[in-house]
Amino acid sequence: MRGNKFYLLIMLVEAWLLLRAIQYLIQITEKKWKRLLLLISSAGLLAMVIFIGDKINVLFTAILFLGAVWLTCEGSFWKRMEIGLLFSSTILAFNALRDNYFLNVMYIHFHQDYYMIRKIILSGLFTGFLYLGIRKFAPDKNYTLSDSTWRLLLLLTATPFCIMLSIITLYNVEQHHTMLIKVHQEFAVVLFLVLMSFIGVFWAIIVLAKQQKLEQQNTLAEINRNYYQLMEQQHIEIRQIKHDMANHLSILAALPQEQREDYIKDLTERVIKIHTLHYCGDATINAVLSVKESIINRNEMQWEIQMDIAKELPFEKVDICALFANAIDNAVEACVKQTKDRRKIVLKCKAQKGLFCMSVTNPVPPFDEESLQKESFATTKPDKENHGFGLKTMQEIVERYHGELELKTKDGIFELFLYMPLETVIK
């Protein structure tokens, strides 16, 4: 009895390590009963005996664990499917090697307690290896991959999973017993290669996530470079105006009264065009808006900004850059297809009372407005031509900070509105 309790305790510890490994790659809900469900499913996955020729255990366990991941984890459909299938396939492939080749003879020659001890040790070593490897190389918690990437990874995982499934389920049960190790060593080689394939998919996820993070950082760095180049250019212009001020005053003194007003008006317009590129208290927002304003001016659009952000926002700079850049890019893309008199973008932002809010409005051509009344993020499809780029990225960022993103249109005006708590734990 004490031995059973000890085995159960060790198995729960191993399941907790597996749950922690899963949490490095996908967000798990904070609800306790859901986390308990995933913990129990992980324990069942690790403890499940997978004998070659058994058509029930492997399918039942894989489906049960996929369902648990689906219910307890957050993210897109494809992300949850891939993470669930990858972890279940990896553990099941190890279990098949463990139960058919590492422990098969031991079960015959030793007492069952020794068999259980060896089983727990092997499972613990593999689970610990998996946990430590993922913890060491895991990407940032806020990493994002596109649905197309997750679908590709799911395909890469499904192929070795089907090979493993074929070996386990298609083997003739009548011939399967103690002679398995002597007669079918090739199965062990195939299962080991399948297991290495799953490890390779883990590594692919880590590499892709870090590559995307690097690309985001490069984008932010490029925007900051453009921002400082604009500042430097305008500082040069300001110095030039100061240098020429004496000449301007001399000219004004010499001009007739009727020409002075035109000269003063022209000089004033030149000075107004040179602003300080300071929209708010966040340097990243200033950098993005400075670059985007030059694009808006080149396309002869009206540009209205209402900013109430006194200090730096407590979000990742890459995320701030992505939110503002994608929102404005979508608005610009929609406006260039309108007549010049309708090209107007209005940006409103506030950071007050514990919330950051942003609203971007722009005109759009008529389309089925009823389809935008749905709460699903897929409601952007009717306006896909004008507002498809970058919206999924924005949605993922907002959800990560426990916020909300809303899209709506009325009387030919499209509005993107989002809010995020200023004090929150990143998902």
pLDDT in tens, 118-128: 888 899 999 99
User: d(Cα 226, Cα 235) in Å, to the nearest integer?
Assistant: 14
3-state secondary structure of 281: coil
Burial class (CB in 10 A: 0-12, 13-18, 19+), 273: exposed
Higher pLDDT, 115 or 342: 342
Confidence of residue 176 (pLDDT cuts 50, 70, 90): very low
User: d(Cα 135, Cα 24) in Å, to the nearest integer?
Assistant: 7
3-state secondary structure of 2: helix
Burial class (CB in 10 A: 0-12, 13-18, 19+), 28: middle
Query: Across all residues in the chain, what is the average pLDDT?
Result: 81
Burial class (CB in 10 A: 0-12, 13-18, 19+), 311: exposed
Strand bridging mode 404-410 / 355-363 = unpaired
pLDDT in tens, 370-396: 444 443 344 344 444 444 447 878 888
Confidence of residue 181 (pLDDT cuts 50, 70, 90): very low
107-112's contacts with Cβ under 8 Å and 24+ in sequence apart are 108/178
DSSP annotation string for 211-253: HHHHHHHHHHHHHHHHHHHHHHHHHHHHHHHHHHHHHHHHHHH
Closest to 327 (Cα-Cα) out of 375, 397, 276: 397
Taking residues 191-207, what's their average pLDDT? 94
Confidence of residue 175 (pLDDT cuts 50, 70, 90): very low
Q: Which one-letter DSSP state was computed for residue 423?
A: S
pLDDT in tens, 52-71: 888 889 999 999 999 999 99
Consecutive H or E run containing 299: none
**pLDDT at site 277:** 64
